[in-house]
Amino acid sequence: MKTIYTIGEDKKTLIAERSFTAPLEKVWAAWTDSDLLEKWWAPAPWMARTKSFEFKEGGAWHYYMEGPEGEKHWCLNSYLIITPLASFTAVDSFCDEDGKVNEDLPTSHWEVQFDEEGDTVKIIVTTTYASEKDLGVVTDMGMKEGFNQGLDQLEALLAG
């Protein structure tokens, strides 16, 4: 696994770090353009499908991950603060097709940081949950493995 994961001291934060050999603008675009996000976000054989996308402060990405049997898992990523080519924060929630948040599943606060280091870009994704239990729920759902697979697909996309 090329992604390095650590658990924060608060036991409710998951930090993922990964470096990509690609220009900063290309890595940023892969996270901020829905057409590119759809190419790597969901772990294969799942696919990310966008219903609506507005990458701006106060905007959101409403999408679902579609499985090989046609199953759909809806999500809503609501953007809070965007610093172009440097970072963004968002609240990520499970939801329904209409964007209504599913209160029975954990919601997380994401901070995605982009650090240019020569010809590579290191991303640091800090995902904070309401509790240690909530982090455990998504970990049990395979969040780390699925996210790593998505980042593998991002690496291939950036190399292409």
Q: Is the pLDDT of residue 150 over 70?
A: yes
CATH code at 149?
3.30.530.20
- Run of H or E including 95: none
Q: Is the dihedral of CA 20, 53, 73, 69 positive or negative?
A: negative
With beta carbons less than 8 A apart as the criterion, state whether 22 and 158 touch.
Answer: yes
Give the pLDDT score at 1.
58
> Nearest-CA neighbor of 28 among 3, 6, 1, 55?
55
pLDDT tens digits for range 55-97: 999 999 999 999 999 999 999 999 999 999 999 999 999 999 9
pLDDT tens digits for range 39-51: 999 999 999 999 9
- DSSP readout, 69-84? TS-EEEEEEEEEEEET
Query: What percent of the chain has pLDDT above 70?
Result: 99
> Nearest-CA neighbor of 31 among 138, 159, 158?
158
Angstrom distances, CA of residue 120 to CA of 15, 25, 114, 159? 19, 11, 10, 12
> Domain residues for 24?
4-159
Counting the structural domains of the chain, the total is 1
User: Strand 108-117 vs strand 120-129: parallel, antiparallel, or unpaired?
Assistant: antiparallel
Cα dihedral: 97, 102, 105, 109 (round 10): 90
Structure tokens at 52: 């609506």
Give the pLDDT score at 160.
87
pTM of the model: 0.95
